[in-house]
Amino acid sequence: MTARTNAPARAAPPLTLDVAEARADVCTVAEVARWLGVDKKTVYDAVHRRELPCARLGRRVLLSRAAITEWLAGRLR
């Protein structure tokens, strides 16, 4: 029979800079709306029309700040 130890659970490793940067780049519809100074409905409408680059995770709409910046730069030319 093996003895069980009551070792404490390991803490998650600290986030690396790449992971932290990637998380900072992911925005919600509300964050993008605040950033662009528009209503959330305007962002949802643009997502629905496939004008804004986004990804869906279940019912959540996730947007990349870098992709939105690139999209916006292309629209301002």
32-47 pLDDT tens trace: 999 999 999 999 999 9
Task: Kindly indicate the confidence band of residue 10, based on its pLDDT and cuts at 50, 70 and 90.
Answer: confident
Q: Say how many residues make up the chain.
A: 77
Average of per-residue pLDDT values in the chain: 83
Q: What pTM did the predictor assign? A: 0.66
The full set of domain ranges for the chain reads 17-75
Provide the pairing of β-strand 55-57 with 26-27. Answer: unpaired
CA distance 72 to 12: 37
CATH number for the region 17-75 comes to: 1.10.10
* CA torsion, ordered 60, 70, 73, 27, to nearest 10 deg: 30
pLDDT at position 29, please?
95
